[in-house]
Each structure stands twice: as C-alpha cells, then as structure tokens.
Amino acid sequence: MSKVKLGVKNCLYPLPTTLVGANVDGRPNYIAIAHVGVMALKHISLSMNKRHYTNAGIKENKAFSVNIPSENLVAETDYAGLVTGKKVDKSRLFELFYGELENAPMISSCPVNMACRLHDIYDTQTHDLFIGEIVETYADESVLARTVVDISRVKPLLFDMSSKKYWSLGPALADCWRVGMTIKKKNRG
C-alpha cells in the first residue's frame, strides 16, 4: 500500500461536539466545543481559543458544564458556535438548570450534562486547555438503560474537521477487551 503525504493534517476525528456552559459577567453563556479530550476517568479537557468570550467566566468561577447535545439540537449547537457572547446574549438560548456547582449552568434539553470544577489550565500561546474534574453527571431517563447512559440513545453530534460536518453515530461493532481475545488465544497456540 503506497501512502500519500498530506503535510501536517490533524485526523484525530471524529470528536463529540459539546455545549460548554459558564457564567460570564454573571450571565449564563454557551459555546460549541469539539476540541475535547479524556484525560482520566474523572478528568476531561477542553481546548478553547483565548479569543473566546467564555474563557474569562471559566477562569473567574472555576466551574463550567459540559453538555452533550443530540442530533435534534444540531442547529442550536452550531449557532452557539457561530455567534460570540461578546456580541449576542445567549443566556436564553436554552432552558437551564443548576446542580452541584452554582456557576455551572446546564442545558435541560441536552440528554447528558456534566458539572465540572476547573482543575487546572494548561496554557498555550493561542489556547487555554481547561482541565475539568467531573463533580456530578446528570442524564435524562430516556437515554438510560437501567442506570447506564446508552450512547445510541444520546445520538451525539460527531465533529470532523476535514469534512467540516457533524456526523451521526452508527451501529455498535464489537466489544472492547473481548473481540481481540481470539488473537490472544491463537498466539498462545
């Protein structure tokens, strides 16, 4: 197989599109962020350009929410990424609720919400990498299978930079830490 060189091209996609909520100047604000990461069971990261309006609110309150929108919120989610809180009041874009953290406004219409305490900021020239510790997770009953979040019911918006599109989640393929057991057994002889 011959390989084509593409230059420096980030292909670590798709990533789940989130709506990050924070109080900025005492008013709830939301922004669409898909440059996220998982660091450990309780810790997640959000990469946010320093020009964004939301960053100051996260720094001031040391709290934010990460909300997972479903496919039916694709237009609202995209809109929250199109307009800045500097110019547009987004506080009434969504019905909100507060949980454990008084400065982490969460979006009722998103089926999953994580209230996060700001744990640390990894600073780069252009971006604040906000490292959050999840303090409490909230979910709609409609996306739970018993007490576990069923991602196929969440219907997340998967962001891909190359196509600049939101993609849907397809069917499950295989079980982790299991489908590879056949190779493990074969190699043992």
Within 122-181, the residues that bind its own copies by CB under 8 A are 122, 124, 126-127, 129, 134-141, 144, 147-152, 154, 156-160, 162-181
What does the block give as tokens for 30?
A: 């939301």
Asked if residue 83 binds its own copies (CB under 8 A), the reply is: yes
Which one, 183 or 189, has the nearer CB to its own copies? 183
Contacting range for its own copies; rule: CB under 8 A; set: 23-31, 43-51, 55-63: 43-51
Which one, 24 or 131, has the nearer CB to its own copies? 131
Task: Quote the least distance from Cβ 92 to its own copies, whole Å.
Answer: 11
How many residues touch its own copies under the rule CB under 8 A: the total is: 101
Asked if residue 1 binds its own copies (CB under 8 A), the reply is: yes
Residues forming beta bridges with residue 84, ordered by sequence position: none
* Residue 116, C-beta contacts closer than 8 angstroms, at least 6 positions apart: 44, 63, 64, 65, 66, 101, 104, 132, 133, 134, 135
Task: Quote the least distance from Cβ 112 to its own copies, whole Å.
Answer: 5
CA distance 8 to 58: 31
* Residue 111, C-beta contacts closer than 8 angstroms, at least 6 positions apart: 68, 70, 139, 140, 142, 143, 153, 154
Q: Which of 25, 51, 86, 108 binds its own copies (CB under 8 A)?
A: 108
CA distance 189 to 184: 9
Which one, 26 or 122, has the nearer CB to its own copies? 122
CB atoms within 10 A of CB 158: 17
